[in-house]
Amino acid sequence: MDRRDFLARSAAAGVAGALWSTPSRAEHAVACGPGFASPADAVQAPREKVLYTVAIYAGTPVEKPDYLATIDADPRSTTYGQVVHRLPMPYVGDELHHFGWNTCSSCHGDQHRERRFLVIPGFRSGRIYIVDTNETRAPQMHQVIEAEEIQKKTDLSAPHTVHCLASGEIMISMLGDSAGRAPGGFLLLDEEFNVAGRWERDTSTMQLNYDFWYQPRHNVMISSEFAAPNTYHPGFNAEDVAAGRYGQRLHFWNWTRRELTKTVDLGDQGRIPLEVRFFHDPESSHGYVGAALSSTIWHWQRKGDDWQVDRVIGVPPEKVDGAADPIPALITDILISMDDRYLYFSNWLHGDVRQYDIGNPDEPKLVGQVFCGGLLGKVTEVAGRPAAGGPQMLQLSLDGKRLYVTSSLYSSWDNQFYPQMAEQGSYLLRIDCDTEQGGLSLADDFCVDFGQEPEGPARAHEIRYPGGDCTSDIFV
């Protein structure tokens, strides 16, 4: 089923109506457990009023713990666009990075579960924090899973992507072993946040690990490759690319057997494939991955019993005064709107965010672009503050109209490519999206300046909403 068929059937079934505000819809949501019954239901959910983002002090002059920042996103509020709560971690140097929920729409229908706990890994320390968001605007620490326990039970380190499973378990991609070497694997936590072991049955054919997305209706999980912790921790070195220490492969797993069944080498045009995004329609086999260093987007789809992968977008490098070689765009994050209509991605070094119409998934069409920093010098200020860094992590509102953007990638890489960020902090801004014709514009009423934090300049990374978002919810 393609995107247009999916939207037509959803409309015909009446799931795209505006009934979400009635008491009956609210009662139904509680009775049926966390998340949404379908992507069309998610599109009709209320507007986000709170944002959570991790704020980082690792790799900065500030010797303080990283923290979870709660941001008021309700334009009717007197504290709109401000950090209203900060939950510091117990330790210094975690490098909080990506995080996710204990449950999502994959658990919809189970009224005994609720989307309440954030699972926040320390990418550098290896710890995993469980944060209780029962008080939405003032989350509290619930539990700490120490790195030593994870290493002892699974020989895994460097936790990255967090996804909940329909079983109630939580799965986390791990990039290294206890010594920081590849290939890593996949960690499982049970519903009580106990270390349950590893998901995969064998890693003998894995080279590297990074992001993943699963889709049970196609009995598949797709994972990507970055590098071993020992490679990326110190910063980027082009010699590591030449030596094959960075990834260029996409992996297809049998979901039920937990076995790697197919690996696609993307070659020189697919170096460092990072974020993996399936279409939200669970019947669809379409999806994309962004190859950061090669600055290309690759599209996959199922063809019979096999999976086909093709390069569909390429962003050429650009010459910059003072640079010996043209600078790559460095695609660092991508996402797909909840209605599967638009693909968004960020070019961290060039400084732009792009919007593509993917009504024809094989031929994405560029319909929107906006600059908010970068090394090309096209934008030097954002909302009156220096644009330290370029657009990096993305999160889209469920209705597709508001795209939130942060500018920090990873501390050692930030220090290498945007050294001013350590002193100026990063930003969290909003881009308004035209969901009818396409088009992007920077909002002038929302920009969180993390250079003005009470303990000193911080760096914001991934973003989540209490009600779910376009990169944490999986429909099964």
pLDDT in tens, 168-187: 999 999 999 999 999 999 99
The answer to the question of residue 241 being in a domain is yes
pLDDT band at 199, cuts 50/70/90?
A: very high
pLDDT at 109: 86
Is the predicted pLDDT of residue 10 greater than 80, yes or no? no
pLDDT band at 455, cuts 50/70/90?
A: very high
Please say whether the beta carbons of 98 and 462 come within 8 A. yes
Reading the block at residue 291, the tokens are 């190859």
> For the chain, what is the domain count?
1
The answer to the question of residue 475 being in a domain is no
Reading the block at residue 363, the tokens are 């031929």
In angstroms, the CA 63 to CA 41 distance is 44
Which helix (DSSP H) or strand (DSSP E) does residue 196 occupy? strand 195-198
In angstroms, the CA 276 to CA 143 distance is 29
Parent domain of 390: 3-464
The answer to the question of residue 442 being in a domain is yes
One-letter amino acid at 231 equals T
CB hemisphere CA count around 25 (13 angstroms): 17
| CATH number for the domain harbouring residue 417 | 2.130.10.10
**Best CA proximity match to 71, nearest among 391, 408, 447:** 447
CA angle 83, 88, 90 (to 5 degrees): 175
Please say whether the beta carbons of 222 and 211 come within 8 A. no
pLDDT in tens, 347-378: 999 999 999 999 999 999 999 999 999 999 89
In angstroms, the CA 333 to CA 416 distance is 19
In angstroms, the CA 385 to CA 305 distance is 52
The answer to the question of residue 161 being in a domain is yes
pLDDT in tens, 48-93: 999 999 999 998 999 999 999 999 999 999 999 999 999 999 999 9
pLDDT at 341: 98
In angstroms, the CA 343 to CA 361 distance is 10
Taking phi first (over 0 means left), then psi (-120 to 50 degrees means alpha), and beta for anything else, what does residue 14 get?
left
CA 220 to chain CA centroid, nearest Å: 20
In angstroms, the CA 399 to CA 418 distance is 33
Is the predicted pLDDT of residue 472 greater than 70, yes or no? yes
**Average pLDDT score over residue span 120-143:** 98
pLDDT in tens, 280-314: 999 999 999 999 999 999 999 999 999 999 999 99
CB atoms within 10 A of CB 464: 25
The answer to the question of residue 175 being in a domain is yes
Pairing of strands 394-396, 67-72: unpaired
Minimum mean pLDDT range among 11-20, 233-242, 264-273:
11-20
202 CB burial (10 A radius; 0-12, 13-18, 19+): exposed
pLDDT in tens, 19-28: 223 233 333 3
List C-alpha distances in Å: 87 to 67, 121, 437: 5, 14, 40
pLDDT at 388: 82
CB hemisphere CA count around 346 (13 angstroms): 27
pLDDT in tens, 244-271: 999 999 999 999 999 999 999 999 999 9
**Best CA proximity match to 391, nearest among 352, 334, 443, 432:** 352
Is the predicted pLDDT of residue 13 greater than 60, yes or no? no
**Best CA proximity match to 354, nearest among 339, 372, 338:** 372
In angstroms, the CA 302 to CA 263 distance is 14
Is the predicted pLDDT of residue 12 greater than 60, yes or no? no
One-letter amino acid at 263 equals T
The pTM of the full predicted model, rounded to 2 decimals, is 0.93
Is the predicted pLDDT of residue 4 greater than 50, yes or no? no
Please say whether the beta carbons of 446 and 77 come within 8 A. no
One-letter amino acid at 129 equals Y
The 8-class DSSP code of residue 46 comes to: P
Is the predicted pLDDT of residue 438 greater than 70, yes or no? yes
The answer to the question of residue 476 being in a domain is no
pLDDT band at 329, cuts 50/70/90?
A: very high
The answer to the question of residue 271 being in a domain is yes
pLDDT at 387: 83
Q: What's the whole-number average pLDDT of the chain? A: 92
Percent of the chain with pLDDT strictly greater than 90? 87
